[in-house]
C-alpha cells in the first residue's frame, strides 16, 4: 500500500489485524479510532497491570513509551503499508497518568526514502497531554528474503 493507493478503511483493518496478531499490542488493548495518510489515533484500554505506583495508581512510564512508539510508527502505515523498525525514540512525560483509558495519536513529520520522523502524543480521557515523543524509523525498502 503506497500513499497513492491508501484507503483509510483498508488501512484501519490491516492495522487492527496486526494488533490482533501481536500479543503485546493486544495486551495493551489497542483499537484504532482513526487512520489517515500520515496520521493515526488509537485507544488503549486501561489495565490494572499498568500500575507502577499503587498508592496513587500511576501508570508505568514504559507503557506510555510503548504507546508513543506505536502511534509514531503506525503514523507511517498509509505510506509504507507495514510497520517499520524504530531507530531512535525520545519520550517526554508531562503529567502522571492514572487509572483510565489513554488515547495515542501519531503524525508524520518527515517521510524519507531511508529514514522518516514521526511524533506521538498520549492523552488521557479528558484530552490532557500525558506524554509525547518523536521517533526515527527505517523506511528503506524491505529486503527480500533469500
Query: Model confidence at 3, in pLDDT bands (50, 70, 90)?
Result: very low
* CATH label of the domain that carries residue 43: 3.10.129.10
Q: Where are the beta strands (DSSP E) in 37-81?
A: 39-44, 51-53, 58-59
Give the Cα separation of 29 and 34 in Å (integer): 15
Beta carbons within 10 angstroms of residue 62's beta carbon = 11
pLDDT tens per residue across span 28-82: 999 999 999 999 999 999 999 999 999 999 999 999 999 999 999 999 999 999 9
Residue-level pLDDT at 145: 64
Q: Is residue 134 part of a domain?
A: yes
Query: Can you give the pTM of this predicted structure?
Result: 0.92
Question: What's the pLDDT score for residue 37?
Answer: 95
The domain containing residue 12 runs over which residues? 3-138
Report the alpha-carbon distance of residue 31 to residue 96 in Å, rounded: 22
Residue 84 has pLDDT above 80, yes or no: yes
* C-alpha cell at position 50: 499498568
In a domain, 143, yes or no: no
Residue 99 lies in a domain: yes
**β-strand partners of 32:** 42
Amino acid at each position: 500500500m503506497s500513499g497513492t493507493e491508501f484507503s483509510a478503511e483498508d488501512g484501519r483493518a490491516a492495522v487492527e489485524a496486526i494488533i490482533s496478531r501481536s500479543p503485546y499490542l493486544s495486551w495493551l488493548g489497542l483499537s484504532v479510532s482513526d487512520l489517515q495518510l500520515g496520521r493515526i489515533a488509537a485507544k488503549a484500554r486501561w489495565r490494572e497491570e499498568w500500575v507502577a505506583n499503587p498508592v496513587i495508581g500511576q501508570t508505568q512510564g514504559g507503557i506510555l513509551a510503548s504507546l508513543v512508539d506505536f502511534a509514531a510508527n503506525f503514523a507511517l502505515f498509509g505510506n509504507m503499508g507495514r510497520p517499520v523498525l524504530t531507530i531512535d525514540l525520545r519520550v517526554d512525560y508531562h503529567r502522571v497518568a492514572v487509572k483510565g483509558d489513554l488515547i495515542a495519536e501519531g503524525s508524520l513529520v518527515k517521510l524519507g526514502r531511508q529514514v522518516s520522523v514521526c511524533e506521538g502524543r498520549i492523552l488521557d480521557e479528558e484530552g490532557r497531554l500525558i506524554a509525547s515523543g518523536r521517533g526515527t524509523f527505517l523506511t528503506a525498502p524491505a529486503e527480500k528474503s533469500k
